[in-house]
Amino acid sequence: MFRRFIRGLKYKFIVLMRNKGASTVIARSFAIGMFVEFITLPTMGLAFLLLFPLIRFTRSLFSVSLIGFATGKLLIPLFLVFNYKVGEFFVHTGVGNETALQTASFFSWEAFKEKGLAFLTGSGVNGIWVALIFYAVVYWAIGAYRKRKENRRQERSLAIPEQTS
pLDDT tens by residue, 154-163 = 888 887 666 6
- Let me know if residue 11 belongs to a domain: no
| DSSP symbols for 11-48 | HHHHHHHH--S-HHHHHHHHHHHHHHHHHHTTTTTTTH
- Let me know if residue 10 belongs to a domain: no
Structural domain for 48, as ranges? 20-146
**How would residue 106 be classed by pLDDT, with cut points 50, 70 and 90?**
low
Q: Decide if pLDDT at 11 tops 60.
A: yes
Q: Decide if pLDDT at 137 tops 90.
A: yes
Q: Decide if pLDDT at 65 tops 80.
A: yes
Looking at the structure of the chain, the number of domains it has is: 1
Q: Decide if pLDDT at 136 tops 90.
A: yes
- Let me know if residue 153 belongs to a domain: no
- Let me know if residue 37 belongs to a domain: yes
Q: Decide if pLDDT at 133 tops 90.
A: yes
- Let me know if residue 102 belongs to a domain: yes
- Let me know if residue 96 belongs to a domain: yes
pTM: 0.74
Query: How many Cβ atoms from other residues are within 10 Å of residue 65's Cβ?
Result: 26
- Let me know if residue 151 belongs to a domain: no
